[in-house]
């Protein structure tokens, strides 16, 4: 199949290397990696399955390569390309251009065993960073605001800049945690506050993703065993944890994604919190922090072995508090294994 890719992670998946100015073209058995002179050394050292071409104008060169090849049909992902870039690539080509939304994501939905090991390692390092972050807060986080706490989370996860993050961490106190994508505020952390942390890091480009909601008593940690002073908060917390555990114990390969979603949603609905569970159960994770499969109420995707995704139910009471517990899982031998 002939195709052309632009997204950095799509390129990395094809040939084990990518950078911020590159294209990948596959024409039958011939493959080309186009980049500029800044990346020549690394690209030629690492890429074994494609011809590395160094060029100033990548779009013009891609257009020439495709023209010369005399192919009749070319696949592309319309989500990867700006109208401007794609017009330059396809200028004057007399071939059929076939839009394939999520072309690379679809290839990547089932992970290899090697990818699973990289994701497992990312998750382990992510969990260690949560422990490190708890230590930092216990020693000097109280009295700091969400901006400073978010920066502290970045410091722990990135190990002072040595590692990339999967996304900007969410660190939210009490009522701010009621927004699933909370941005930091000037709200400071006091003992006994509810603290929600959603954060992840990258290990060899593979992402981790984890959420914990905790009660910040003295010497707290990010385990899932938490005691809150408020009965309402505790009831919501116990419900979210039960929903999380229910999906992990009962999800099976062969189910539809929406059936996995129901495993968390039914528990929360039965406890009377249904209207406060305002998002899907989870999403795939790999080179991208959000990829297939999407574990939502509408998804008919069949869950298969070696898919990796999150289980992250939540309850969000506006202006009061929010609870979310998230783990990354992999389907192995038909069942869920928590990474």
Which CB atom, from 278 or from 302, has the smaller least distance to a second copy?
278
User: If we measure between CA atoms, which residue out of 57, 60, 62 comes closest to residue 11?
Assistant: 62
Q: Pattern 43-82, binding to a second copy, x per CB under 8 A?
A: -----------------------------------xxxxx
Binding a second copy (rule: CB under 8 A), the pick from 93, 99, 332, 338 is 99
Closest contact distance (angstroms) between CB of 239 and a second copy is 23
Of residues 181 through 200, those in contact with a second copy by CB under 8 A are: 181, 184
Polymer length of the chain? 339
The one segment of 10-18, 120-128, 151-159, 205-213 that binds a second copy by CB under 8 A:
151-159
Closest contact distance (angstroms) between CB of 133 and a second copy is 14
Ramachandran angles phi, psi of 118, nearest 5°: -65, -40
What H or E segment, with its residue span, contains residue 210?
strand 210-215
Q: How far is CA 269 from the centre of its chain?
A: 26
What is the three-class DSSP state of 326?
Answer: strand
Binding a second copy (rule: CB under 8 A), the pick from 67, 121, 128, 179 is 179
Binding a second copy (rule: CB under 8 A), the pick from 150, 215, 280, 281 is 150
Which CB atom, from 178 or from 226, has the smaller least distance to a second copy?
178
What is the three-class DSSP state of 12?
Answer: helix
What H or E segment, with its residue span, contains residue 247?
helix 231-250
Binding a second copy (rule: CB under 8 A), the pick from 101, 143, 254, 272 is 101
Asked whether position 38 contacts a second copy by CB under 8 A, the answer is yes
User: In terms of DSSP H, where are the helices of 91-226?
Assistant: 103-107, 113-140, 146-158
**Beta pairing class for 96-99 and 73-76:** parallel
Contact in structure between 188 and 145 (CB atoms under 8 Å) = yes
Contacts with a second copy by CB under 8 A: the residue count is 25
How many CB atoms within 10 Å of residue 27?
18
Asked whether position 167 contacts a second copy by CB under 8 A, the answer is no
Which CB atom, from 16 or from 78, has the smaller least distance to a second copy?
78
Contact in structure between 16 and 46 (CB atoms under 8 Å) = yes
Residue 227 burial by CB count (10 A; 0-12/13-18/19+): exposed, middle or buried? Answer: exposed
Closest contact distance (angstroms) between CB of 29 and a second copy is 27
Asked whether position 148 contacts a second copy by CB under 8 A, the answer is yes
Asked whether position 227 contacts a second copy by CB under 8 A, the answer is no
Binding a second copy (rule: CB under 8 A), the pick from 87, 131, 275, 337 is 87
How many CB atoms within 10 Å of residue 146?
21
Name the site residues for a second copy (rule: CB under 8 A).
38, 78-84, 86-87, 99, 101, 147-148, 150-151, 154-155, 158, 160-162, 179, 181, 184
């Amino acid at each position: 199949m002939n195709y052309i890719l632009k997204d950095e992670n799509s390129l990395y998946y094809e040939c084990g290397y990518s950078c911020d100015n590159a294209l990948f073209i596959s024409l039958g058995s011939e493959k080309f990696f186009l980049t500029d002179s800044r990346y020549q050394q690394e690209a030629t050292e690492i890429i074994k399955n494609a011809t590395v071409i160094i060029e100033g104008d990548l779009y013009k060169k891609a257009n020439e390569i495709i023209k010369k090849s005399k192919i009749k049909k070319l696949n592309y992902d319309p989500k990867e390309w700006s109208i401007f870039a794609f017009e330059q690539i396809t200028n004057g080509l007399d071939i059929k251009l076939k839009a394939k939304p999520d072309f690379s994501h679809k290839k990547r939905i089932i992970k290899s065993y090697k990818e699973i090991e990289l994701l497992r390692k990312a998750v382990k390092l992510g969990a260690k960073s949560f422990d490190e972050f708890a230590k930092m807060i216990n020693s000097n986080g109280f009295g700091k605001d969400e901006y400073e706490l978010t920066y502290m989370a970045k410091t722990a996860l990135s190990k002072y800049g040595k590692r990339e993050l999967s996304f900007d961490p969410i660190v939210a106190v009490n009522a701010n945690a009621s927004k699933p994508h909370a941005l930091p505020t000037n709200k400071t952390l006091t003992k006994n506050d509810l603290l929600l942390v959603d954060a992840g890091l990258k290990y060899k480009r593979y992402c981790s993703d984890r959420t914990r909601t905790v009660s910040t008593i003295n010497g707290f940690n990010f385990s899932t065993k938490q005691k809150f002073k408020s009965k309402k908060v505790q009831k919501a917390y116990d419900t979210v944890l039960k929903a999380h555990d229910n999906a992990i114990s009962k999800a099976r390969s062969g189910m539809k994604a929406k059936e996995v979603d129901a495993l968390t949603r039914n528990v929360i609905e039965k406890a009377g919190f249904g209207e406060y569970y305002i998002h899907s159960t989870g999403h795939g994770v790999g080179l991208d922090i959000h990829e297939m499969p999407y574990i939502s109420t509408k998804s008919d995707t069949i869950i298969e072995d070696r898919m990796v995704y999150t289980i992250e139910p939540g309850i969000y009471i506006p202006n009061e508090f929010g609870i979310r517990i998230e783990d990354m899982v992999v389907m192995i031998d038909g069942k869920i294994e928590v990474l």
